[in-house]
Structure 1
């Protein structure tokens, strides 16, 4: 039987050895210890709460590094590892010990952790590609009189962003965004002030939104979308190019964007702009009853 144990100063060395064995340990970001070692004593205590060790009898056999559940109980898994000879001992019941209503795990497509996901009865939510581009490779001219760009203003544009995003993603089975969600995001470490952008037509109507965040060590375009009635007019490409140019003007050398493998239109657009595949990964999802 596999038991869960909190990470502490007393079992830290066991975790360190397990983490160093894992080939997939947070491969898209700084390692746990790069993050942990730079923090204060209090912050280290908080970060340790994100780790649970898997123990069989007196042997430590694996770990899970997960995001503390958000207000709605959702949690991202950052890394998971279990020694091969113990994978058969785990099942989805172990997830009931976490205070989460649902888990998501983005992992490299060839990750050995897929065996663990299957044992825990996770479902494949999507197959994705992370693409990247050098900002210096793109030269833009935004003098067209049919568009202009408006940067998101905290304390002013939350309702507008909420309305635009919920309209754009209403067919994506997403939980509707709330103004409170946006206020919470503005307090997150990954949020970058002045890097949220609305694209407007020459009548002053907002037709889409996108932003840059700094997440998992990458500057990434997220929440990108154009209102349905304004699609197929080139607004999406102009917005992406503007966001890349915004990064270039702020000395950011590389920008990333995530796209589902079966979204051929988006893949074609990003390739046309100059993005190239960086990593292929799978998003796993599990709802906890």
Structure 2
């Protein structure tokens, strides 16, 4: 199977919305998801014509990028697709002179935190009781990556 990064647009948003719903404990509404597919946001999914493995939605403001949402289909986790998504984002940043990448992650999502830290993200701040979860509220870690230019 040949994998590629395919723009996620209003024409194929059902793909991303399905992945979002499968991966989020409290998914966005369809309207919010679709609103994040227009400027200043941009989104891609990783896959092929027959398989959708993961996606991301990001927003660029001047020389900063915020990852608004990122996810890999649950049955595909642990196979390196999350790293491919993050590497694609970092490559985009290097090509577009973006100096910082920001994201927030549930404190309990240790697999994602380990991935982000392995790429160079650092925890900048904790937002207490930010996420709603099955067992009450959960903290969010605010993480930042300083992008180095060659």
Query: Is the TM value for this pair above 0.5?
Result: yes
* 2:33 corresponds to: 182
Which TM-score applies when normalising by structure 2?
0.72
Instruction: Write out the 4+ residue segments of structure 1 that deviate beyond 4 Å after TM superposition.
Output: none
* 1:276 corresponds to: 122
From the CA coordinates, give the structure whose radius of gyration is larger. Answer: 1
CA shift for structure 1 position 278: 1.9
Which TM-score applies when normalising by structure 1?
0.40
CA shift for structure 1 position 175: 4.6
* 1:249 corresponds to: 95
Going by fraction, where is strand more abundant, 1 or 2?
2
CA distance in structure 2 between the aligned counterparts of 1:233 and 1:284, rounded to whole angstroms: 29
Query: Can you give the 5+ residue segments of structure 2 that lack an aligned partner in the other structure?
Result: 133-150
Question: Residues 185-238 of structure 1: CA distance to partner in whole angstroms, max 9, x if unpaired?
Answer: 456xxx435x3010115x7411111121247x9521121100111111100111
| CA RMSD, Structure 1 to Structure 2 (Å) | 2.7
CA distance in structure 2 between the aligned counterparts of 1:236 and 1:285, rounded to whole angstroms: 21
Q: 1:232 to 1:160 in 2, by over 3 A?
A: same
* 2:51 corresponds to: 205
Match of 2:76 among 203, 207, 230: 230
Does the aligned pair in 2 maintain the 1:165–1:177 contact within 8 Å? no
Q: 1:221 to 1:184 in 2, by over 3 A?
A: closer
* Number of aligned residue pairs: 131
CA shift for structure 1 position 177: 2.9
Which has the bigger relative contact order, CA under 8 A and spacing at least 6? Answer: 1
SS of 2:11 mapped into structure 1:
coil
